[in-house]
Structure 1
Amino acid sequence: MFPTPIQKASPFVQMAYKILLPVALFLWLLPLIGVAITSVRPASDLAAGNYFGIPSGFAGFENYSAVFNNSPIGYYILNSFKVTIPTVIGAVALSCLTGFALAVYKFKGNLVLFFMFVAGNFIPFQILMVPVRDMTLRAGLYDTTMGLVLFHVAFQTGFCTLFMRNFIKGLPFALIESARVEGVSEWRIFRYIVLPLMRPAIAALSVLIFTFVWNDYFWATVLVQGQHAMPVTAGLYSLNGQWVAAWHLVSAGSIVAALPPVAMFFLMQRHFIAGLTLGATKG
Structure 2
Amino acid sequence: MSANSTALRRKRAATAGFHLSAGTLALLWLLPIALVVVTSLRSFDDIAANGLGGLPRSFTLDNFRQAWVDGGQQRALINSLIVTVPCVLVTLALAAMAAFALSRYELPLRRSLLLLMLGGNLLPPQILLIPVSKLSELIGVYDTLPALIGVQIGFGVGFYVFVLHGFMRAIPAEIQQAAVVDGAGPWQIFWRVILPLTRPALAALSALSFTWIFNDLLWAITVLRSDTKMPITAALIGLQGQYVSQWNVIAAGSVIAAAPTVAVFLRFQRHFVAGLNLGAVK
On whether the aligned pair clears a TM of 0.5, the verdict is yes
Question: Which bracket does the TM-score occupy, shorter chain normalised?
Answer: 0.7 to 0.9
Unaligned stretches of 5+ in structure 1? 1-8
Question: For the Cα contact (< 8 Å) 2:243–2:249, is it kept in 1?
Answer: no
Q: Which residue is equivalent to 2:54? A: 53
Identity of aligned residues (%): 37
Deviation, 1:34, is 2.1
- Consecutive unaligned residues of structure 2, counting only runs of 5 or more, are 1-9
- Return 165-174 or 243-252, whichever deviates more: 243-252
Shift of 1:161: 0.9
Name the CA shift for 1:135/1:207 in 2 (closer, same or farther; >3 Å).
same
Question: Are the aligned partners of 1:204 and 1:271 in contact in 2 as well (CA < 8 Å)?
Answer: yes
Correspondence 1:10-49 to 2 at 5 A: 13-47=14-48
Q: Residue in 1 aligned with 2:271? A: 271
What one-letter code is carried by the residue in structure 1 that aligns with 2:76? Y
Corresponding letter in the other structure for 1:61: L
Q: Does 1:101 align with 2:98?
A: no
Quote how far apart the aligned CAs of 1:37 are: 2.0
Task: Please give the per-residue CA displacement for 1:77-97, whole angstroms capped at 9, x wherever unaligned.
Answer: 111110000100111001101
How many pairs are equivalent? Answer: 273
**TM-score relative to the length of structure 2:** 0.87
Tell me if the contact between 2:243 and 2:250 (Cα under 8 Å) persists in the aligned partners: no
Partner residue in 2 for 1:209: 209
Q: AA paired with 2:105?
A: Y
Letter in 2 for 1:54: L
Q: Deviations 1:46-76 (Å, cap 9, x if unpaired)?
A: 4457122223322x31211222231221111
- What is the CA–CA distance in structure 1 between the aligned matches of 2:191 and 2:242, rounded to whole Å? 55
RMSD: 2.3
1:81 partner letter: L
Whichever residue aligns with residue 199 of structure 2, its letter is: R
Q: Report if the CA contact (8 A) 1:88-1:210 is conserved.
A: yes
TM-score for the superposition, normalised by structure 1: 0.87
Q: Which has the higher helix share?
A: 2
For residue 155 of structure 2, what is the amino acid of its counterpart? F
Which residue number in structure 2 is paired with residue 83 of structure 1?
Answer: 83
C-alpha contact (below 8 Å) 1:70/1:239 kept by paired residues: no
How far apart, CA to CA, are the structure 2 residues paired with 1:123 and 1:13?
Answer: 44
Matches within 5 A, 1:53-202: 53-58=54-59, 60-202=60-202
Code of the aligned partner of 1:251: A
